[in-house]
Amino acid sequence: MGVRMEHGNPNSVEEFVEVEKQFLINVYRRQPVVLEYGWGARVVDINGKEYIDLVAGIAVNSIGHAHPTVVEAICNQAKKLIHTSNLYYTRPQINLAIKLKELTGMDRFFFCNSGTEAVEGALKFARKVTGKKNFIAFSGSFHGRSMGALSVTFPEKYRNPFLPLLEGVEFVEFNNPDNIISKINRDTAGIVVELVQGEGGVNVAEKDFVKALIDVRNDYDCLLIVDEVQTGFGRTGRWFAKDHFALKPDIITMAKAMGGGIPIGGIGVTEEVARVLTPGDHASTFGGNPFACSASLATIKVIEEEKLVEKAKVDGEYFMKSLKKLPVNEVRGLGMMIGVDVNNASEVVNEALKRGLLVNNTSNNTLRLVPPLVITRDEIDKAVEILGDIITGQ
Ligand SMILES: Cc1ncc(COP(=O)(O)O)c(C=O)c1O
């Protein structure tokens, strides 16, 4: 096949696959495509083939690829100061915290580099603040793969190879308000929940379930940790999924769309939680560096200027309505976070790639559609047409 390893410069998809086998650790299942550049909701591979992107880097590229506002902001920041550590103050970090307070209603913030790290920190904060040790999480949950975050992640196939994990985690059926009470106890530090489960197959929390969460939180004096890593920054048609429920959690976690593709995560807490935390309780060398924070500020500016939260709501409804006309098992979701149940999701994903559409599936035959929020109506129509053709065998 002639893989030119000595140059470190593979040229065909086959060569990339071969190089991956030799040089990368085999933990990802990748599609056979090498992406080179993109704009808006489009990406182009090394052969010049164009794709409509319904994956958006797994709900990250909400403002689309190569948005000029973010490109300019990060270029300007890179020329000034990329990193300083948290031994010093920088303008972008402070400005981001002030902006997030306005957007989330949470009081104070900690910055990290990913969703997993945000969840990990949230679990630590909950233990320190409550002095308790147990957690409640839910069937279908996904919160990351570090030892703490993995402990509250539901699928056994992810957890079992790494046991023992955190003690005292109980999984309760998602959307079943009666079940929480049976598992909660006086040593419960926190309840960790996604209000729209992403990896679990796009399951939207019901109002009575959320009410039950609030009730038990109040009765048992534990913390409610809402994981907004995937749902945050407009994805569901509100700035944060908690806003659909007028919910005020004790802690929220965020990441993914927060930096327009530059790695950044965050934890937002109430003043009561923040008050208990002291230097040394948690830290991150890279977390909140000026480069990542300026990317996040520019991303938020784009979301505001282009009214992408409202667009996610309106165009998400349009998208779902069109999908419901297809012969699929179920369409559900909130805003631009849409799950489509089909009979053989991985085959649909593979065929879609051939037809110029990037789609992703969760383990339970659900297509998870989380496109850039800037996707156009024409692109939505085209995506529905391609999916329809595949599903009806055309
Ligand atoms: C709800 C939720 N929490 C946490 C994570 C972990 O985030 P990351 O992959 O950035 O570590 C994810 C990732 O898919 C997620 O969807």
Average pLDDT value for residue range 118-140: 98
pLDDT above 70 as % of the chain: 98
Average pLDDT value for residue range 320-330: 98
Compute, in angstroms, the gap from residue 315 CA to the centroid of ligand 1: 24
CATH of domain 68-305: 3.40.640.10
Average pLDDT value for residue range 259-271: 98
Which of 61, 116, 120 best tests ligand 1's pocket when mutated (most atoms within 8 Å of CB)?
116
**pLDDT-based confidence at 5, cuts 50/70/90?**
low
* Joined tokens for residue 277: 């935390």
Which parts of the chain are beta strand (E)? 35-39, 42-45, 50-53, 108-112, 134-138, 169-172, 188-193, 196-197, 203-204, 223-227, 251-254, 265-269, 330-334, 337-341, 357-358, 360-362, 366-369
Q: Is 148 in the pocket of ligand 1 (CB under 6 A)?
A: no
Are 271 and 277 spatial neighbours (Cβ–Cβ below 8 Å)?
no
Q: Is 194 in the pocket of ligand 1 (CB under 6 A)?
A: yes
Is 284 a residue whose pLDDT tops 60? Answer: yes
Is 4 a residue whose pLDDT tops 60? Answer: no
Q: Between helices 345-354 and 377-391, what is the axis angle to 10°?
A: 120
Specify the pLDDT at position 1: 46
Domain boundaries, the chain: 68-305
Start-to-end C-alpha separation, the chain = 34
Q: Is 261 in the pocket of ligand 1 (CB under 6 A)?
A: no
Model confidence, pTM: 0.97
- pLDDT tens figures, 60-81: 999 999 999 999 999 999 999 9
Specify the pLDDT at position 364: 80
In order, the DSSP letters of 59-77 are HT-TT-BT-HHHHHHHHHH
**pLDDT-based confidence at 8, cuts 50/70/90?**
confident
**pLDDT-based confidence at 273, cuts 50/70/90?**
very high
Compute, in angstroms, the gap from residue 393 CA to the centroid of ligand 1: 34
**pLDDT-based confidence at 286, cuts 50/70/90?**
very high
Is 133 a residue whose pLDDT tops 90? Answer: yes
Average pLDDT of the chain to the nearest whole number: 96
Are 383 and 54 spatial neighbours (Cβ–Cβ below 8 Å)?
yes
Q: What are phi and psi of 214, to 5 degrees?
A: -65, -45
Compute, in angstroms, the gap from residue 143 CA to the centroid of ligand 1: 5
Q: Which of 257, 294, 287 minimizes the C-alpha distance to 74?
A: 294
Q: Which of 200, 179, 199 minimizes the C-alpha distance to 191?
A: 179
Residue nearest to atom 8 of ligand 1 (CA): 115
Compute, in angstroms, the gap from residue 156 CA to the centroid of ligand 1: 17
Average pLDDT value for residue range 315-344: 98
In whole angstroms, give the CA distance from residue 380 to residue 267: 33
Compute, in angstroms, the gap from residue 202 CA to the centroid of ligand 1: 14
- pLDDT tens figures, 202-257: 999 999 999 999 999 999 999 999 999 999 999 999 999 999 999 999 999 999 99
C-alpha distances in Å from residue 267, one per residue of 6, 108, 177, 337, 374? 44, 8, 26, 22, 26
